[in-house]
Structure 1
């Protein structure tokens, strides 16, 4: 490839990547935004903690259910179609959410946002595998999650400020319009591989025609034993963090320490920023070190430390609270290395399915943890209400935090059984031996 062709390829690649990142960031914003206006939702729709958790978890239910189909489509069709169409569906869901007059309809809107968003992460990870060198996969995955978490960070402190001037309905109406616009642009501009724009790139994953039945490939992914410890470890770091910062992290502070929503959202912002920065650092360090497992294990241990601290340490609003929220956020960056392990443990032809399986498991856990956290608090409370909204104390939240610590401890044990892939080099050597044999 001559220099002119290479420059043209790079421009096209980064333009497509930026479009995908834009919808990825918007998806993170929509995922975590309800935590900031949780009290408004409870008051407007007269819901209990468990009902609120169920409503917000509708996103994760559909997101989870569509992960494996999205992985199959990513491998068979490509990211352009699934992300473009998914973004439009998510945008329509946001519009319904913004206008919904009832609890049932607002839940349906949330469900559609999750349905459309289900394609985005798998699509962008598949795009990264096609367009970026495998030696930089950990780094580019880290950068991707960092940028995604900037969207999540906007759903905390900045959204709390915005809600001083606009309503949550106005906000989601605008995000719906943006998502639909991005979906159309992605469908028009993005291409699935360098070959589709007339280039050959030896670093990209081959998109040779795969004639195997997709169900046979999916069964092979489920049968891959190395995937399951990674999934369980990721639930213990990433799922518990997403469930907490996506709903209960802000109410815990407003109910227990009488912080304003704007003040409390700074703590979840700290966790999300820590998550984003750590994603780049852990991805880069893992690529440079040429190993994966130590980073998975250390992250799992860090998650246990953070949740145990939130549960039993004498922390308060202030630096100690910021520190603990940041610790659980940093530990969740394990996901970068987890996805790298999964990608390197399977054939490139089924990488989308394998990534989807792990992502589905994580978000299935999030969808269960959020309402279970609220249910536990409802069971432990005395039923007191103010203006139709349930009243919780820090003692009630501690029961939920205890559940978080238990899940992270199980994840830590699973991390000990994660297979070391040596950034894919061991797999390549095994394949070479098979071919030579």
Structure 2
């Protein structure tokens, strides 16, 4: 390592920037089907439920892998796991470019989910290793927020590319970006300022299960998971698959306007992230209250849109994507609660447990929307009907109800745990 103090100050941001770029690419690949849903329906001759299966499998794989990925990072370090994730993502997206049958396309999306799952926790661990403790909350929030630029690139630019270059060349070009980042990762990313590759101690299955059980038993971990469950699924469902069809066929908007609405949602995500990061750091005992307030706002705006007679005005749809977009960075509150509730030795495991929440909720919603659309749309209809979308999008209220009840329960338990003096020195209650 160089003794140059300037290089010493710049190097952490270089490592973080490359990790962030890989996470951004993973978000792009995850979201790249959002504006291609209608094309995919024609290319593979599938219905809404089959279309939803693409995202269902991808998100299911992502959610199921969170705890194993946390354990892998603890054992083999961020650099190795991130390298594997980037290779899998690149190969999977290239396979999706050439897939000409529904089965092959499904297989490709499964491995997109695998590669995606191997990125985020790695970048968070790099942040913890390269930055002073006081900077970790801000850099973590910036990681989650700026990573959503991948969804911006997957909106309007992806729409234009599909129109200009077609399915195969567009997805193949997206896959090629991974090769460039792979070279940069190998050249510049180290696990810590003093070690290129970090290897943790091997754990027996019994020790691994004991650590997971201990993390899960802490009410702060469960509170974090339910916060993560209820905050991001609306934005995820719109951003990964159903937003574009909803705005075009459900609300009668032009295709370019639909793409701009999805882009605006991601801009809201990026704008709200730093603000929420400051609020969480300033008012740590009110973190779950912030999350419940944001969810309540989403409930009100969605209810207004769905109850509007006929097509909702564009101004209301703009308000919808802005409010829903705030739910993305609000999910980071769940990670902060888990971080202040667990020692470093089991932090990756706790982070994996929390990160499952929002993706299981997204999975349930994405699949449910597809099933309801098929149920409520006549067989001879050329497109999904606005009435079918009203029924389908109403499923969100069930998930929000479950999440709000559970957050209310577990924040009481977490606060009782803190009052009993059994928590860590940092505040556990939200």
Measured in 2, the distance between the counterparts of 1:359 and 1:290 equals 20
Measured in 1, the distance between the counterparts of 2:139 and 2:217 equals 28
Judged with a 3 Å threshold, the aligned counterparts in structure 2 of structure 1 residues 253 and 366 are, in CA distance, closer, same or farther, namely: same
Measured in 2, the distance between the counterparts of 1:208 and 1:164 equals 48
Measured in 1, the distance between the counterparts of 2:173 and 2:44 equals 22
1:298 corresponding residue in structure 2:
293
1:201 corresponding residue in structure 2:
none
Aligned equivalent of 1:215, options 188, 209, 216: 209
Judged with a 3 Å threshold, the aligned counterparts in structure 2 of structure 1 residues 208 and 40 are, in CA distance, closer, same or farther, namely: closer
Judged with a 3 Å threshold, the aligned counterparts in structure 2 of structure 1 residues 210 and 37 are, in CA distance, closer, same or farther, namely: closer
1:322 to partner: Cα distance: 0.9
Judged with a 3 Å threshold, the aligned counterparts in structure 2 of structure 1 residues 195 and 318 are, in CA distance, closer, same or farther, namely: same
Off by >6 Å, runs of 4+ in structure 1: 425-429
Judged with a 3 Å threshold, the aligned counterparts in structure 2 of structure 1 residues 287 and 208 are, in CA distance, closer, same or farther, namely: farther
In the alignment, is residue 193 of structure 1 matched against residue 192 of structure 2? yes
1:286 corresponding residue in structure 2:
280
1:179 to partner: Cα distance: 1.6
Judged with a 3 Å threshold, the aligned counterparts in structure 2 of structure 1 residues 30 and 251 are, in CA distance, closer, same or farther, namely: same
How is 1:29-428 mapped onto 2 (pairs within 5 angstroms)? 29-196=28-195, 213-291=207-285, 292-314=287-309, 316-386=312-382, 391-419=383-411
Judged with a 3 Å threshold, the aligned counterparts in structure 2 of structure 1 residues 145 and 23 are, in CA distance, closer, same or farther, namely: same
1:418 to partner: Cα distance: 4.9
2:7 corresponding residue in structure 1:
8
Judged with a 3 Å threshold, the aligned counterparts in structure 2 of structure 1 residues 157 and 418 are, in CA distance, closer, same or farther, namely: farther
Q: Which runs of 5+ in 2 are unaligned?
A: none
Q: For residues 383-412 of structure 1, give each alpha carbon's deviation from its aligned partner in whole angstroms, at most 9, with x where no partner exists.
A: 1243xxxx2111101111110122123222
| 8 Å CA contact 1:296, 1:415 repeated in 2 | no
Judged with a 3 Å threshold, the aligned counterparts in structure 2 of structure 1 residues 211 and 50 are, in CA distance, closer, same or farther, namely: closer
Judged with a 3 Å threshold, the aligned counterparts in structure 2 of structure 1 residues 233 and 313 are, in CA distance, closer, same or farther, namely: farther
Measured in 2, the distance between the counterparts of 1:427 and 1:261 equals 56
Measured in 1, the distance between the counterparts of 2:291 and 2:125 equals 22
Measured in 1, the distance between the counterparts of 2:421 and 2:120 equals 26
Q: Which runs of 5+ in 1 are unaligned?
A: 199-205
Q: For residues 151-198 of structure 1, give each alpha carbon's deviation from its aligned partner in whole angstroms, at most 9, with x where no partner exists.
A: 111111222222231223222212212123323432442122233269
| 8 Å CA contact 2:84, 2:115 repeated in 1 | yes
Measured in 1, the distance between the counterparts of 2:393 and 2:132 equals 40
1:203 corresponding residue in structure 2:
none
Measured in 2, the distance between the counterparts of 1:218 and 1:5 equals 41
Judged with a 3 Å threshold, the aligned counterparts in structure 2 of structure 1 residues 306 and 9 are, in CA distance, closer, same or farther, namely: farther
| 8 Å CA contact 2:75, 2:199 repeated in 1 | no
Judged with a 3 Å threshold, the aligned counterparts in structure 2 of structure 1 residues 299 and 157 are, in CA distance, closer, same or farther, namely: same
Judged with a 3 Å threshold, the aligned counterparts in structure 2 of structure 1 residues 429 and 281 are, in CA distance, closer, same or farther, namely: farther
* Number of aligned residues: 419
Aligned-CA RMSD value: 2.9
SS in 1 for 2:164: coil
Question: For structure 1, which segment, 103-112 or 335-344, has the greater mean C-alpha deviation from structure 2 after superposition?
Answer: 335-344
Judged with a 3 Å threshold, the aligned counterparts in structure 2 of structure 1 residues 178 and 302 are, in CA distance, closer, same or farther, namely: same
| 8 Å CA contact 2:33, 2:241 repeated in 1 | yes
Question: For structure 1, which segment, 261-270 or 45-54, has the greater mean C-alpha deviation from structure 2 after superposition?
Answer: 261-270
| 8 Å CA contact 2:227, 2:288 repeated in 1 | no
| 8 Å CA contact 1:300, 1:408 repeated in 2 | yes
Measured in 2, the distance between the counterparts of 1:426 and 1:137 equals 26
Measured in 2, the distance between the counterparts of 1:208 and 1:290 equals 31
1:225 to partner: Cα distance: 2.4
